[in-house]
A and B are shown apart, each in its own frame.
Chain A
Amino acid sequence: MAKTIMIVDDSASIRQVVTIALKGAGYDVIEAVDGKDALSKLTGQKINLIITDVNMPIMDGITFVQEAKKLAAYKFTPMMMLTTESADDKKQAGKAAGAKAWLTKPFQAPTLLDAVSKLVLP
């Protein structure tokens, strides 16, 4: 069974690039436009990895990770942050919230797949 990855990003183009890359590698993908949208889509199904942007309207990535970790079904789900800058304080905030993996934007598909495959193999 294919592994499922959720991508949370307010930029449609990023979502699209990520989705195409992940689907091409054999993953199933769930898309969400912000933290709130993502939380509403976490309905208990098995998700192997959540990739989320940090700066998003309505609910930002760090809050979303904190909220998602509170859900019993997803407390062990690895979380990956997408950051525009490799600013250390943002990284630390993300790590504190529970996202131990991160990827600096802009990235190319192979980099993304490589990072993802460290956490989930298709």
Chain B
Amino acid sequence: MSEFDSALKIFAQESEQLLLDMEGALLSLESDPDDSEMINSLFRAMHTIKGSSGLFGFNPIVAFTHEAESVLDKVRNNERAIDGELISVMLDSKDHTARLIEHCLSSPDQPLPDELTVASDALIKRLTGKQHTHIQAQATDTSQVHSEGGGNISIDDSWLISLDFRDNAFRNGMDPLSFIRYLKTLGEIKQILTFFPEMPHGEVMDPESCYLHFKIAFTSDASKQTIESVFEYAADDCDIKILPPNSKVNAYLQLLDSLDENHVSRLGEMLIQVGALTEHDVEHALKDQSDAQQDTAKPLGEILVEQQMVQKPVVEHALKKQEQTKQKVAAENSYIRVDADKLGHLINLVGELVISSAAMNLIVERHGLTDAGDVAASMNSLVSSIRDTALELRMVQIGETFSRFRRVVRDVSNELGKEIDLQISGGETELDKTVVEKINDPLMHLIRNSLDHGIESPAQRLAVGKPAQGIVQLNAYHESGHIVIQIADDGAGLDSDKIVEKAIANGIIKADHSLTQQEIYNLIFAAGLSTKAQATNLSGRGVGMDVVKKNIEALRGSVMIDSIPGEGTTISIQLPLTLAIIDGFMVGTEQVRYIIPLSMVDECIEMDSTESEINEIEHFINLRGHALPYLRLGEYFNTPKSNVVKKHESVVVVKFGQDRAGFVVDELHGEHQTVIKPLGKMFEKLKGITGATVLGDGNVALILDVQGLIEAAIGKRKRKPALLH
């Protein structure tokens, strides 16, 4: 038994059951006509049979059940009352449907015998209560046109052309007859129906207006394009619908199947390509679509079927093909989900590879192997691209993290009774997944702070002439090897007097401080400082900001705050793109090597007393007119002095945010791919060092905490004069 046969069997069983249910429902409706559930089940029975008959191409069943369904739909919508008469018609309709199904199952290829056709028409008449015009039937049953005499002509091979002339056709010199006569030159007109439902009677009728409508069954080998061109000149004065013959449907389906994947594009284009539609059809349907209201606009396919431009199966097939192709294309650039641990392991291995490759370079250099040098160089560049690619694998967009805060902002602003709009930008900025995970909590805290302390209440805002709705902006962007995340609000800004007052009260600073505005703002990151008079459950307990700062610094990042009183506060978090491997700049002093993250190195200058003014007491260099505090790394880390006489010293100028400082070193070793190895627990709190790395020769180099060292350099310079007093 083929699949089709077994499907037919299921259809037969299903229909039988449905009709049985229908009978039961009808009988119970007789005693209780208001039982809506019964009416629904009647409707479903007809609807389901119509649907499945359509699948098998049993058009007579479709046409008949469609009528019954329409009537039941009216009953369901209380547009028509259910009475004894309707119930008996429905019972007859149920029996008739059973006969139609029997006929279609036993001899699907035979046309409907006359007695069944007559019975269909008679029942439809009883159902609808009016003369059946056959026009309605055409909408669903395109396989048959009933001629006036009641005989059937199979028009399966016919094009169905419907011409609806407009009023002005005659006035524009359009004679419907000449087009129809011209049409005959392309093929044979099997059947033509003329009707004029809008034509008024007697004196009201305007003899210059055209009221004519035609439905033409036409057989021809011509393409849809050619047939359409017959009516080219009438296009302005006539609605033309050309439905390809059912026999063409299969040809279209085959053509659709054979469409090259590269040609699978938009639905309209596909259907034009196989010839099921003309460009004019598509243009027309697209216009209808765009004319429709936004919320009522239908998909193009639905419009095309509704306007009878093409059969439903063709559209469905085209859509299926489109979907398949889409899936295929989607599968081609799909994602693979990978265990994060595996990725971490890979990155560790790549780190080791980087170290080994550095070791190999060193050996090649040491032994002066020129031929091996070339190989080493090419391997070096390969290793660095492997490193970059491996790191990229872990890069994720920050957008997802950002969008999570929408909910937070919504909830918190409700809680606080404030109106706050969260504006997100730069969501596509990528950074290492481990960084993203760890930045979530600090960000949450900072945003809550902005919501609570930053944005004022609507009343306060209105009082100072700001819109009631406050804005919190979340932005991310890349800047010289770092990612910067900004949280900006348009609130009241920080109150520096209050901060100073509080800081003095808590003993964080002395009363005679000489802090800049910037430094005062940054005091809010000090432990035990909260300017909010009353602590809410959101923030204001003075713990948090220092934790935020610590967390960010643990990521080798930094946080800065800027504020304009009355206009708002901006908090900028600067983070490294990745935690695993960095491009470093290696320097050495007193036999010890240090790595400075390359992105923080500004320039290197000679520590030459003749060119730069060096103030050894106050520890600053006059660098092109600016005072640059400096630090001798050897002194700072207390490394034992060697007895070798130094030829010259160099200054590496580093910057971190707004601050700059110089590190005085003996040797400059240049760029170095640095695999960061975290320091053990014991050394975690060491000042000035954030990590270590293994060099190619097996020695260890220390990775400098540039931010801490800059602070130390600036601090040293400040303290010195005080000591002199």
A contacts, CB < 8 Å to B: 49, 75-80, 95, 98, 100-101, 115, 117-121
Contacts and interface: CB of A to CB of B under 8 A. Distances in A.
Contact of B173 (A76, A115, A117, A121): A76
A118 B232 contact: yes
A118 B232 CA distance: 9
A118 B174 CA distance: 10
A91 B122 CA distance: 52
Give the 9 A-B CB pairs with smallest separation, nearest first.
Answer: A78-B173, A101-B233, A118-B182, A100-B172, A121-B181, A77-B173, A100-B233, A100-B236, A119-B178
B170 A121 contact: no
Nearest to B234: A100
B172 A117 contact: no
B319 interface: no
B173 A119 contact: yes
11 contacts: A49-B173, A76-B170, A80-B233, A95-B236, A98-B172, A100-B234, A101-B233, A117-B182, A118-B178, A119-B233, A121-B181
A119 B236 CA distance: 14
Nearest to A103: B233
A118 B173 contact: no
B498 interface: no
Contacts of A80: 233
B175 A119 contact: yes
B239 to A, nearest CB: 15
B171 interface: yes
Contact of B174 (A75, A100, A115, A117): A100
A64 B237 CA distance: 21
A49 B174 CA distance: 10
B171 A121 contact: no
Given A76-B170, A78-B172, A120 B233 contact: no
B181 A76 contact: no
B337 to A, nearest CB: 53
B179 A79 contact: no
A79 B173 contact: yes
Q: Which of A49, A101, A115, A117 has the most CB of B within 10 A?
A: A101
B185 interface: yes
Interface of B is mostly: helix
B174 A121 contact: no
Q: Which of B171, B172, B185 has the most CB of A within 10 A?
A: B172
Contact of B178 (A77, A100, A120): A120
B174 A78 contact: yes
Given A78-B172, A118-B232, A100 B237 contact: yes
B115 to A, nearest CB: 43
Contacts of B170: 76
Most chain A C-beta atoms within 10 Å of own C-beta, residue among B172, B173, B175, B230: B173
A76 B172 CA distance: 6
Most buried by A among B181, B185, B233: B233
B209 to A, nearest CB: 12
Nearest to B237: A100
Contact of B233 (A75, A76, A77, A118): A118
B175 A78 contact: yes
Interface in B157-206: 170-175, 178-179, 181-182, 185
A76 B182 CA distance: 19
A100 B174 CA distance: 8
A119 B208 CA distance: 18
Contacts of B232: 101, 118
Contacts of B174: 78, 100, 119
B415 to A, nearest CB: 61
A53 B479 CA distance: 67
B233 to A, nearest CB: 4
A100 B182 contact: no
Contact of B185 (A77, A101, A115, A117): A117
A115 B185 CA distance: 13
A75 B171 CA distance: 6
Contacts of B173: 49, 76-79, 98, 100, 119
Interface in B219-252: 230, 232-234, 236-237
Interface in B475-510: none
Contacts of B208: 76
Interface string B320-335: 0000000000000000
A118 B234 CA distance: 10
Contacts of A49: 173
Nearest to B184: A121
B346 to A, nearest CB: 61
A65 to B, nearest CB: 10
Interface string B97-121: 0000000000000000000000000
Contacts of B172: 78, 98, 100
Contacts of A98: 172-173
Given A98-B173, A100-B173, A100-B236, 20 more contacts: A49-B173, A75-B171, A76-B171, A79-B173, A95-B236, A98-B172, A100-B172, A100-B174, A100-B234, A117-B182, A117-B185, A118-B178, A118-B179, A118-B233, A119-B173, A119-B174, A119-B175, A119-B178, A119-B233, A121-B182
A61 to B, nearest CB: 15
A82 to B, nearest CB: 14
A76 B170 CA distance: 6
Which of A79, A101, A118 gathers the greatest number of chain B CB atoms within 10 Å? Answer: A118
Contacts of A78: 172-175, 233
Interface in B327-374: none
A10 to B, nearest CB: 23
A119 B234 CA distance: 9
Contacts of B185: 117
Contact of B230 (A76, A95, A100, A118): A118
Contacts of A101: 232-233
B232 to A, nearest CB: 7
A96 B599 CA distance: 69
Nearest to A50: B173
A37 B173 CA distance: 22
A71 B305 CA distance: 43
A59 B629 CA distance: 90
Contacts of B182: 117-118, 121
